[in-house]
Amino acid sequence: MREGPRRSGSAVLPIRVLIADDHVLVRRGLVAIINMEEDALVVGEAGDGRQAVALWRELQPDVVLMDLRMPEVDGVEAIRQIKALDARAAIIVLTTYDHEEDVYAGLRAGAKAYLLKDVQPEELFHCIRTVHGGEGYLQAKIAVKLAHRLQEAPLTEREVQILESLAEGKSNRAIAAALFISESTVKSHLKGLFGKLDVTSRAEAITLAARRGLVKF
């Protein structure tokens, strides 16, 4: 657990925040509202994941607000790289993406909290203070999605490959040829895949997989 608030003499130092988001207006808005708080101060802004990692090395902030979709290096990879540098790094995912797979990926990479950008300022500040104090935090709607994701049977690597092939419009024969397996094996995997996703057709599987972030178009 992190130590309590940093002090300089008798004064409590503010929580030093690094913001990583590729949208300038979002960053400026966050800077404005965070710097209004007496116990928080934005010390850096990054426009992509690579810059976020570099600024983290340079500034050693107390808390990072990390978007997921960014150029150069995405948020999940940036989280992994920062956590490799310091396992205690306090990172909050702040994004518009609420797919179960995005939530799972962000937390698995090492984020301590996950918020959507429609979060109210009061909850954002509470989250920053909570994470700075060494605890995790999940927005209520995100907690529900994560619980649903954890209840599902995980897809095997082969099932993910077949799902990606479906999204590319490949036939069973083309999938079999690409993966060096028989068509009957492809059909067997499809049956298991449809069961896990609770769908009855290829179209339903692709639509659901796209919504959950399992495949990218």
Name the nearest CA neighbour of 91 among 123, 130, 120. Answer: 130
Tokens standing for 188? 């067997």
Crossing angle for the helix pair 157-167 and 202-211, to the nearest 10 degrees: 100
**What's the average pLDDT block by block, 10 residues per block, for the chain (217 residues)?**
49 90 96 95 96 97 96 94 95 89 86 94 96 91 70 78 89 92 92 84 83 67
Q: ∠ CA(49), CA(51), CA(56), 5° rounding? A: 95
The pLDDT value given to residue 204: 85
**Contact, 155 vs 193, CB < 8 A?**
yes
Side-chain half-sphere exposure of 194, counting CA atoms within 13 A: 13
The pLDDT value given to residue 203: 87
The pLDDT value given to residue 3: 42
Which ranges in the chain are annotated with CATH 3.40.50.2300? Answer: 7-150
Which ranges in the chain are annotated with CATH 1.10.10.10? Answer: 157-211
> With the CA atoms of 129, 118, 33 and 110 taken in that order, what torsion angle do they form, in degrees rounded to the nearest 10?
40
The pLDDT value given to residue 6: 59
Distances (CA, A) of 37 to 4, 58, 122: 18, 24, 10
Rounded to whole angstroms, how far apart are CA atoms 182 and 170? Answer: 14
Side-chain half-sphere exposure of 26, counting CA atoms within 13 A: 17
Tokens standing for 174? 């083309």
Q: Domain 157-211 classified CATH 1.10.10.10?
A: yes
What is the pTM for the complete model shown? Answer: 0.69
Rounded to whole angstroms, how far apart are CA atoms 3 and 142? Answer: 27
Classify domain 7-150 by CATH number: 3.40.50.2300
The SS3 call for residue 7 is: strand
